[in-house]
Structure 1
Amino acid sequence: MYDLAIMWDWLAFAVRWLHVITAIAWIGSSFYFIALDLGLNRDIDGPADGEEWQVHGGGFYHIQKYLVAPEQMPEHLTWFKWESYMTWISGAAMLAVVYWVGAELFLIDPNVMDLAQWQAIAISAASLTIGWIIYDFLCKSRLGDRPTMLMVLLFVLLVVMAWGYTQVFTGRAALLHLGAFTATIMTANVFFIIMPNQRIVVKDLQEGRAPDPKYGKIAKLRSTHNNYLTLPVIFLMLSNHYPLAFATEYNWIIAALVFLMGVTIRHYFNTMHMKKPEPRWTIGATVLLFIAIMWLSALGQPSLEVDEDQAMGPVATQYAQAQGFEDVRDIVLGRCSMCHAREPVWDGILWAPKGVHLETDADIAAQAAQIYLQAGASHAMPPANLTYIEPTERAAIRQWFKNARVPVALASTN
């Protein structure tokens, strides 16, 4: 049964790898077309809106853009959609594998909101759907003709969701869900708006009708939103590796400032793509925002008090009651807790790596799968075996985990 933990960890790794691959494909094509569109030479004759000559990989490329479409539709069109769809699908799979299956460890914090696993999963899934519905309503309202106001309201919606998630889930899950919330909006823009509008234009041309320019205008608005949301989503997806981002009191404000940084950074590159003067103010604004984030992370440090009476969920209780727990507890306290503490004592370690604490019975039982994977099934921990954990101690960890015989293995935090 304990080998299931290894299989599940590899599944989580595989899904994460797929997610990264598809995200690279989506973001890469998105950034390329944004740079291409903004940098087109529009001082040309003819029906095309602009053109660009590019050189890459030993060849030359001549690219032309039409505002609606050329007079004659080409026989072959390359549609850019699967990159977006597969990024969302793989991300949803990773959310299920890591956070839904491992809800007791990664999703639910009884000190924030005491939820049953099914309740936490339901809130997780519903919040993504509700976010798109609200956003889409705003875009289709009269605000669609006021893009600046619409962007401000979108920012407000994201800040409200950032705060709301921290009132329901663990800090790690809150920022991850905010990223998933935002990515859902971006992919839904492609699936429900951008692609259908492009299909309407293509069909009109194929049937000899003049396409309505409004469809291009609508798609352009959604594409612009995706442009400015991309970088914050990447930050939020990486945040689960950095406790100073997710495990502090003001994590939701940090997330809000990250969205502002996404605007300043993208504005800098968008301006440069248009071959306009360098907007140096965006560099200063980005630096100030990042300094504010660092200050907030230090200002909102969690309590260093150790709660010896932490409540355990049913899975953690099963590990704590398994034969060999007392021996493993002594091993962990002697080999791991000097770094994985609320106030680490190992020189150079200021915060517990990944926010994982291993000081109490509840801490250790909750992290059973990770202790097994990191120090039992592999030699990942301690790093370089600095605390000299013995082979017999690793064997004891493996045997304890096997004794627990938990039916479902918790997922990896990697």
Structure 2
Amino acid sequence: MYDFAVVWEWLAFAVRWLHVITGIAWIGSSFYFVALDLGLRKVPGLPVGAHGEEWQVHGGGFYHIQKYLVAPERMPDHLVWFKWESYATWLSGFAMLAIVYYAGAEIFLIDPTVMPLSVPFAIMISMASLGVGWVLYDNLCKSRLAENPTSLMVLLFLILVVMAWGYTQVFSGRAALLHLGAFTATIMSANVFFVIMPNQRIVVADLKAGRTPDPKYGKIAKLRSTHNNYLTLPVIFLMLSNHYPLAFGTEYNWLIASLVFLMGVTIRHYFNTIHAGTGNPTWTWPATAALFVIIMWLSTIGGPTETNEDQALTRFQQQFASTEGFGDVADTVRGRCSMCHAREIYWPGLIHAPKSVYLETDQDIAARAREIYLQAGRSHAMPPGNVSGMEPVERQRIVDWYDAAVAG
């Protein structure tokens, strides 16, 4: 039976690996085309309908690139579509959400001290929020606000701030920031699937039929692409945040996440301006640094949001707590791990427990049985560098206890 936990852990690793690979492909192509678009130059002798061109050198050769603002006069024989990078990134990301946060909802998604949710209801809120977010954003982009991109971006930022706060009122801190990232990434990928690609297909269909494509489709796609460009860096931060308790496990985690979106704007504004050749906005660097300093300060105010205070053991926890050998394992964990994984840290240099994992009470240890088994039993990942001197016999007790609990 223990093989299931090992296989599941490797499945989570494989999906995470896939998500990183596809994310690199999507973000890389997105950043490249934004830089290319901004770097286009109008020169004499451009073909009819061409908006600009750029020469690039890479891989030992030269590339001569021309962009048609609407479409060329005729359909080219070979046309490369950029879409699967986006789709695969979202699909693999949702698979990760299901594997880690839905399958492990009682540990990673739900915090009873925030809101006592049932697992099905918590998952329903998670999935519904992603869909509702896209519908709200899409309708705003189709409103008159589309004629005022700056106002639209400000409104989008305010929505993200509200969602950041809202998620922290429903889920655990870790899940809240992760969901804000998924909320934003869903908007970005849906932009590609529901707007950018369909508009490009309309233009291609017009070309094939001998019609002159309407430039409005390119304008609409450009607006959504611009939004994606400014949202990318914050999404990466939010996806990484689950590894850093100072980001997700503090009282003002929602405000930290909100300020990260502003950092994404300042960083992208700098590079977009440089690529366009319209200036050198060095002010963005001190502005970004100032925002980051504020974020660091916010992470030190108040205590952790995830207290995991001792409550009655759930049925799942009772299974592990009542299995023979639990007492010895609990003593081992408290002796070898709780100096760091505690509500009051005893280890020098730590402010909060790593990943807000507490291993002090029987409930703490029973609730984290699978993680203890994988991190300190099946592997030697914990304690880091075996700083507390966990013995092989102690690791074997953990394995035997977990196997017996699962088998029982």
Output the TM-score relative to the length of structure 2: 0.97
The AA in structure 2 aligned to 1:35 is A
Aligned twin of 1:41: 41
How many Å separate the matches in 2 of 1:305 and 1:104? 14
Amino acid at match of 1:130: V
Which consecutive unaligned segments of at least 5 residues does structure 2 have?
A: none
Amino acid at match of 1:33: F
Shift of 1:325: 1.0
1:43-86 deviation digits (Å, cap 9, x = unpaired)? 33332111111111111111000101111211110000000000
- Deviation of residue 361 (structure 1)? 1.1
Q: Partner of 2:200: helix, strand, or coil?
A: helix
Tell which deviates more after alignment, 342-351 or 3-12: 342-351
**Whole-Å Cα distance in 1 between the matches of residues 351 and 181 of structure 2?**
27
> Are the equivalent residues in 2 in contact too, given 1:268–1:282 (CA < 8 A)?
yes
Following TM superposition, by how much is the alpha carbon of 1:305 offset from its aligned partner in structure 2, in angstroms? 8.1
Q: In 1, are the aligned partners of 2:376 and 2:395 still within 8 Å (CA)?
A: yes
- Conserved 8 A contact 2:242-2:248: yes
After the TM superposition, which residues 282-321 of structure 1 pair with which residues of structure 2 at under 5 Å, given as runs?
282-302=284-304, 307=309, 309-321=310-322
- Counterpart Cα distance in 1 of 2:351 and 2:208: 64
Q: Which moved more, 1:39-48 or 1:140-149?
A: 39-48
Post-superposition shift, 1:18? 0.2
Query: Partner residue of 2:398?
Result: 397
Aligned residue number for residue 276 of structure 2: 274
Query: Is residue 2:131 matched to residue 1:151?
Result: no
RMSD: 1.4
The structure, 1 or 2, with the larger RCO (C-alpha pairs under 8 Å, 6+ apart) is 1
Deviates more, 1:154-163 or 1:86-95: 154-163
Please give the alpha-carbon distance, in whole angstroms, between the structure 1 residues aligned to 2:233 and 2:313.
37
Change (3 A) 1:322 1:199: same
Equivalent residues in 2 for 1:222-241 (5 A)?
A: 222-241=224-243
Unaligned runs of 5+ residues in structure 1 are 408-414
Alignment partners' CA distance in 2, 1:2 and 1:393: 18
CA distance in 2, matches of 1:157, 1:138: 11
User: Residues of 1 paired with 2:71 and 2:45: CA distance?
Assistant: 16
1:146-187 deviation per Cα after TM superposition (whole angstroms, max 9, x unaligned): 111111111111111111110110000000000000000000
Change beyond 3 A, Cα 1:305–1:242: closer
Partner letter of residue 20 of structure 1?
V
Distance 1:303 1:118 in 2: 23
- Write the distance in 1 (CA, Å) between the matches of 2:389 and 2:191: 53
% same residue: 71
Q: What does residue 360 of structure 1 align with?
A: 361
Alpha carbons of 1:175 and 1:304: their partners in 2 closer, same or farther (altered >3 Å)?
closer
- CA displacement 1:345-393 (0-9 Å, x = unmatched): 1233332222211111111111111100011001111112121111111
Aligned residue for 1:269, secondary structure, equals helix
Q: Which residue of 1 aligns with 2:349?
A: 348
Cα deviation code 1:20-46 (max 9, x no counterpart): 000000000000000000011123333
- Judge conservation of contact 2:340–2:353 (CA < 8 Å) in 1: yes
The equivalent residue for 1:265 is: 267
Structure 2 match to 1:191: 193
Runs of 4+ in 1 over 4 A off after TM superposition: 303-306
Q: Give the whole-Å Cα distance in 1 for the aligned partners of 2:290 and 2:324.
A: 53
Correspondence 1:2 to 2:2: yes
SS at structure 2 position matched to 1:299: coil
Cα distance in 1, alignment partners of residues 263 and 306 from structure 2? 31
Secondary structure of 2:112's counterpart equals coil
Relative distance call for 1:311 and 1:137 in structure 2 (3 A) is farther
Partner of 1:372: 373
Residue of 157, 161, 165 corresponding to 1:163: 165
Aligned pair 1:182/2:184, yes or no?
A: yes
Once the two structures are TM-superposed, the CA of residue 304 in structure 1 deviates from its matched residue by 10
Any idea what SS the aligned residue of 1:51 has? strand
Listed as ranges, the matches of 1:36-75 within 5 Å are 36-46=36-46, 47=48, 48-75=50-77
**Are residues 319 and 252 of structure 1, via their aligned partners in 2, closer, same or farther at CA, if it must alter by over 3 Å?**
same
Question: Residues 258-295 of structure 1, C-alpha deviation per residue, up to 9 Å, x if partnerless?
Answer: 00110000000000001122101111111111111011
Distance 2:73 2:307 in 1: 71
How many residues are matched?
A: 406
- Between stretches 379-388 and 294-303, larger displacement belongs to 294-303
Matches within 5 A, 1:22-37: 22-37=22-37
How far off its partner does 1:303 sit? 7.7
Query: Which amino acid letter does the alignment assign opposite residue 348 of structure 1?
Result: G
Contact persistence 1:243–1:353 (CA under 8 A): yes
Match of 1:412 in 2: none
Residue 304 of structure 1 contacts residue 343 of structure 1 at CA under 8 Å; is this kept in 2?
no
How far did residue 297 of structure 1 move?
A: 0.5
On the 8 A contact 1:135/1:185 being kept in 2, the answer is yes
Superposition pairs for residues 84-103 of structure 1, below 5 Å? Answer: 84-103=86-105
**Between 270-279 and 191-200, the greater mean CA deviation after superposition:** 270-279
Aligned residue for 1:386?
A: 387
Compared with structure 1, are the counterparts of its residues 87 and 343 closer, same or farther at alpha carbon in structure 2 (3 Å cutoff)? same
Native 8 Å contact 2:111 2:306 kept in 1: no
